[in-house]
């Protein structure tokens, strides 16, 4: 392109003014302000010379220092008419456009842009006068229609433009004065043919006229709607005045509030329709009637229920795991199940929420873990205590026909949460009662069934409520009292008691700090040694959980707080030497294993609600008439186990055993701690071993403990509570534990720390036990 131009068609060294959102046309005068340093310098350079500048628009107005690629190719050669210095280094410029030119080359000169320009000749012949006249008239008609539709133009300016007879000047003046995007104006300027420029501008004007007419049509419709709303408003104001005269002003204003809340409510269409009907009834009901209060309560309940509102759930498994580990020690199975649920939700957003039941002894963290689960999942948390609930209406709500009717606890909990996907804790589900008012556990069958709870019907609400997004966590101390159909709907996770090591970590990492904060102690004011914590666990508490352990730590903190109140700078250190001064004498001592083998004494293992324990079963044989005496407050099952053990021993003695031995001797079996009730079949093998030892006059190893149910034929059957039993044996200093072979799977599931320092041997028959323990 540059090679085809004559020297006369080129202009070199012309200062370049780059414009943002502005296009300067030939034959027009433009006023604008500039502040960029290079633009100001270019204008000053022009004033020092021939007062000529090349104005060109930027493709992207946000570019601060544009290059040739950031500028449109076509611009306007203009003459600077006036420069006025304004405050803040801003210059107001008046320029007059001369002709269209193209930017061929751009360079930076002493702080301003300088360009080499090329002329832009017309590409089509425009000598046909009648065609030009037609174009001028058509363009003027379009412009006149446009200004009439727009209505924002100065009439004097319009008259001046309509008096122009030159087509090119007319195009440039109209383009310069219509409020359209600068890129559209640039398209007109860039056209090399006056016919194409005319067509471009005609299309722009026609489109703007169409937009103006559509806007006018919309304005008329809005105005009509506003007039209709004003009429409705006027009638409502009259209705308010009538209510005011009747003393029912509050009722009318409340109805407006409910209507406004209904518009914002996200709920199914049926629910919205029902609320709308109730609001209409509320408006026409007298404020003094009891029906008014019933409808008010019903409307407020329906508006408060989160029909479609959800809290944003966390899908980050790593973050959730960190939260659970930080707030709870142990509880591995619960954490795994929760993390699985979060992982599934991350992949499948509309997956069903699990229904979990945590079953275990008191104080093992069942209730508190639910709160941590909600925190880890980023959900709201609500708790419903079901202990002692005897009325089915507590779950399903009361029908609205009753005075003082209310929704059930499930719907009330959803209202409290404010979201339809909370973590809902159903605490103490094993302690639900039932009477003539109904069975709450039967009402829970629908709540805890994933196939049914999507359309849970509360008697009060009378509309189906979706509970499928709720994550239900139930807690129970035992599953024995939970009805089978209800138990079948829940995923049971057994929580056994904490080991001594787990209790130590929980106390050190959580309970001590918690009680320090609760009693206003700083880190420096109280220090409890590790050995002191272990002594508290072993000698001052005996439980499966950690509630009493926390109480003992709180007792120490209170005594430390008392010293801190007397001497603020005091520092209390609790160790094994001075712990008695804080907690008094030790309440529990471990029944340690005997040091020497003895006849007729065998050590068994028992499970209790507060953990495992060891039972030292004693048997004495004396001359008599063949009677068997059982003492130690034994239950029916344990008494039967003793009789089975005796029968087996009688059949298992050697052939050379004295005849009529059992007819001439009495056997007395005693289980120490006679005031404590004992029952269960798991001491069967221990009783048989003690009886066999006493009858055969053989000593029993003191470092061996055993557990297992015994049959008449000597088979050793599996038992439960193995974890707690092995922990009890370990605490008592037992080295070897004999376990039924069928319990091997339970042993394999135990943590390594439980089995450290203890040898577990598997037995199938009583003869194996006798060979192992009898010296």
- Residues involved in catalysis: 682, 725
Using alpha carbons, select from 413, 535, 428 the residue that is nearest to residue 471. Answer: 413
Using alpha carbons, select from 282, 267, 517, 298 the residue that is nearest to residue 398. Answer: 298
| Burial class of residue 445 (count of CB atoms within 10 Å of its CB; 0-12, 13-18, 19+) | middle
Structure tokens, 714? 């000597």
Contacts by residues 562-570 (CB-CB < 8 Å, ≥ 24 positions apart): 564/520, 564/521, 564/525, 570/525
Determine the Cα–Cα distance for residues 438 and 605; give it in Å rounded to an integer. 42
Determine the Cα–Cα distance for residues 171 and 733; give it in Å rounded to an integer. 106
Beta bridge partners of 107: 114
Task: Give buried/exposed letters for 200-227 (b at 16+ CB in 10 A, else e).
Answer: bbbebbeebbeebeeeeeeeeeeeeeee
Angle between helices 636-652 and 766-773 (to 10 degrees): 80
Close Cβ partners of 488 (under 8 Å, ≥ 6 residues apart): none
Is 147 within 8 Å of 128 (Cβ atoms)? Answer: no
How big is the chain, counted in residues? 775
Pure H helices in 246-361: 249-264, 269-284, 290-304, 317-327, 332-347
Give the angle subtended at the CA of 262 by the CAs of 261 and 264, to the nearest 5°.
65
Distances in Å between the alpha carbon of 443 and those of 397, 423, 429, 457, 461? 10, 20, 12, 11, 16
Determine the Cα–Cα distance for residues 521 and 525; give it in Å rounded to an integer. 6
Close Cβ partners of 162 (under 8 Å, ≥ 6 residues apart): 140, 143, 144
Determine the Cα–Cα distance for residues 737 and 731; give it in Å rounded to an integer. 12
Determine the Cα–Cα distance for residues 708 and 683; give it in Å rounded to an integer. 6
Determine the Cα–Cα distance for residues 449 and 461; give it in Å rounded to an integer. 20
Q: 10 Å Cβ neighbour count for 102?
A: 21
């Amino acid at each position: 392109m540059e090679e085809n131009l004559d020297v006369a068609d080129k202009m070199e060294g012309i200062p370049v003014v780059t414009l943002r959102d502005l296009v300067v046309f030939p034959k027009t005068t433009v006023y604008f302000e500039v502040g960029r340093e290079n633009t100001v310098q270019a204008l000053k350079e022009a004033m020092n010379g021939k007062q000529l500048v090349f104005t060109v628009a930027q493709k992207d107005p946000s570019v601060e220092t544009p290059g040739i690629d950031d500028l449109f190719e076509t611009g306007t050669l203009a003459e600077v008419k006036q420069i006025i210095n304004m405050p803040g280094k801003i210059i107001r410029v008046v320029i007059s456009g001369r002709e269209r030119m193209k930017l061929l080359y751009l360079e930076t000169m002493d702080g301003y842009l300088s360009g080499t320009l090329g002329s832009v000749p017309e590409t089509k012949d425009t000598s046909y006068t009648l065609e030009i006249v037609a174009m001028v008239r058509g363009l003027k008609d379009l412009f006149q229609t446009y200004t009439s539709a727009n209505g924002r133009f100065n009439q004097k300016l319009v008259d001046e433009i309509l008096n122009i007879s030159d087509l090119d000047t007319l195009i440039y003046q109209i383009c310069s004065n219509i409020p359209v995007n600068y890129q559209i104006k640039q398209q007109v300027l860039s056209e090399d043919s006056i016919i194409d420029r005319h067509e471009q501008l005609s299309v722009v004007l026609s489109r703007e006229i169409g937009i103006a007419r559509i806007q006018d049509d919309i304005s008329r419709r809005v105005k009509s709607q506003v007039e209709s709303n004003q009429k409705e408003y006027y009638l409502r104001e009259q209705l308010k005045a009538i209510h005011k005269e009747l003393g029912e002003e509050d009722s009318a204003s409340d109805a407006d509030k409910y209507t406004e809340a209904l518009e914002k409510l996200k709920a199914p269409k049926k629910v919205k329709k029902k609320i709308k009907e109730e609001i209409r009834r509320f408006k026409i009901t007298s404020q003094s009637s009891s029906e008014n209060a019933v409808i008010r309560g019903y409307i407020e309940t329906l508006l408060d229920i989160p029909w479609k509102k959800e809290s944003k759930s966390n899908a980050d498994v790593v973050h959730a795991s960190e939260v659970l580990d930080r707030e709870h020690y142990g509880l591995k199975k619960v954490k795994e199940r929760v993390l699985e649920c979060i992982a599934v939700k991350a992949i499948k957003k509309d997956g069903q929420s699990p229904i979990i039941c945590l079953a275990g002894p008191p104080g093992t963290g069942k209730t508190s873990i639910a709160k941590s689960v909600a925190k880890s999942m980023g959900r709201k948390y609500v708790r419903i205590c079901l202990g002692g609930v005897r009325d089915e209406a507590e779950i399903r709500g009361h029908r609205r026909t009753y005075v003082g009717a209310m929704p059930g606890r499930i719907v009330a909990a959803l209202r409290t949460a404010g979201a339809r996907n909370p973590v809902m804790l159903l605490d103490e589900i094993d302690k639900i009662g039932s009477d003539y008012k109904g069975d709450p556990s039967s009402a829970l069958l629908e709540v805890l069934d994933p196939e049914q709870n999507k359309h849970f019907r509360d008697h009060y609400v009378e509309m189906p409520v979706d509970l499928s997004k709720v994550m239900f966590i139930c807690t129970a101390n035992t599953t024995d009292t939970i009805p089978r159909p209800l138990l079948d709907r829940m995923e049971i996770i057994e929580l056994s008691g904490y080991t001594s090591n787990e209790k130590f970590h929980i106390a050190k990492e959580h309970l001590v700090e918690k009680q320090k904060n609760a009693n206003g102690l700083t880190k420096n004011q109280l220090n409890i040694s590790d050995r002191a914590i272990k002594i508290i666990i072993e000698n001052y508490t005996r439980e499966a959980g950690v509630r009493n352990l926390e109480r003992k730590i709180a007792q120490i903190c209170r005594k430390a707080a008392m010293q801190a109140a007397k001497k603020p700078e005091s520092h209390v250190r609790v160790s094994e030497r001075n712990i008695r001064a804080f907690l008094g004498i030790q309440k529990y001592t471990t029944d340690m294993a005997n040091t020497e083998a003895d006849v007729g004494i065998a050590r068994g293992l028992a499970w209790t609600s507060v953990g495992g324990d060891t039972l030292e079963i004693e048997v004495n044989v004396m001359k008599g008439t063949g009677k068997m005496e059982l003492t130690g407050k034994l239950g029916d099952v344990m008494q039967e186990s003793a009789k089975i053990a005796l029968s087996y021993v009688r059949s298992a003695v050697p052939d050379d055993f004295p005849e009529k031995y059992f007819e001439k001797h009495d056997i007395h079996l005693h289980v120490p701690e006679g005031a404590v009730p004992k029952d269960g079949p798991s001491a069967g093998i221990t009783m048989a071993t003690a009886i066999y030892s006493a009858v055969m006059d053989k000593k029993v190893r003191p470092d061996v403990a055993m557990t297992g149910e015994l049959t008449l034929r000597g088979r050793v059957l599996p038992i439960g509570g193995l974890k707690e039993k092995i922990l009890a044996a370990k605490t008592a200093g037992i080295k070897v534990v004999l376990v039924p072979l069928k319990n091997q799977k339970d042993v394999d599931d135990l943590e390594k720390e439980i089995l450290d320092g203890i040898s577990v041997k598997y037995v199938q028959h009583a003869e194996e036990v006798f060979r192992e323990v009898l010296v």
